[in-house]
Amino acid sequence: MKIYKIEAGSFHVDGGAAFGVVPKVVWKKRYPCNEDNYCRVNTRCLLVDTGSRKILIDAGAGDKQPDYLKFYKFTDMPDLASEVEKTGIKCSEITDLIFTHLHFDHCGGATRYKTGTKEVELVFPNATHWVGKAQWENFLNPNVREADSYFKENIMPIFEAGKLEIVSENQFICPEIEMRLFNGHTAGQLVIYISYGNKTLVYSGDVVSLAANIPLAWLSAYDIFPLTAMEEKKELLDDVAADGKILIFEHDAYTECCTIEPNYNKHKVKEIFKLADV
């Protein structure tokens, strides 16, 4: 098995949104911000080549809504297809694309406008695209908090092409990769467990967005169901800490992955890694 880190660009979120009710005087010691209170975050995707399957996990924001999303101050936005193909794997060879959820920064890069047109095409035309059942239903009938994070042009062309597969329970996509459902950040989010030699990697999506979000009470204001999010974060961190699993951060601009120190209700980073060093 080979695992590739695919950096799909960076954007900026308000520190108050990233850390919710935690005061700035506290969180700024753990995560930097600029003079406008913006924190830089990444869209860090993974490409897993098992030999028989070539599986991309999340697809970044893409570039179809630049004006609508200009508030987020996107920077360093590479072409996702080009970044994937730098690994030596063609976009047409991707067998599966797992969306942790359908907020724009996790799925927008899966479709694009054909050059010079507003006609949408699939970036990974032969891939089965996986999404949680409750997340799909939420996308179709969003609540007022999440409606601005969903764009039909990101996902409907995939559905219309018959390439969308719905996940209604925890399941393995292949022997090495399991998808588990979580519901605190948004309904039907998928957390991805990857068996990698004698290690288990956990791609946490927005269950734990940043290393600074590890303390249980340090929830993002983007979490739709805060108490559920807190309970699920504890469940996930307890599991990661129990046997030395490695937690991968999708959004942290400064920390790619880490192990967790076992400590009931007071979880903390044990050891920090670059994904290349895992």
pLDDT tens per residue, range 233-243: 999 999 999 99
User: For 90, how many CA atoms within 13 A lie in the half-sphere containing its CB?
Assistant: 4
Ranges of the chain whose pLDDT falls below 50: none
Contact by Cβ (8 Å): 113, 123:
no
Residue 75 confidence (pLDDT): 87
Confirm if 236 and 192 have CB atoms less than 8 A apart: no
Secondary element (H or E) of residue 82:
helix 80-85
| CATH number of the domain enclosing 182 | 3.60.15.10
Please give the model's pTM, rounded to 2 decimal places: 0.95
Number of domains composing the chain: 1
Range of the domain at 78: 2-277
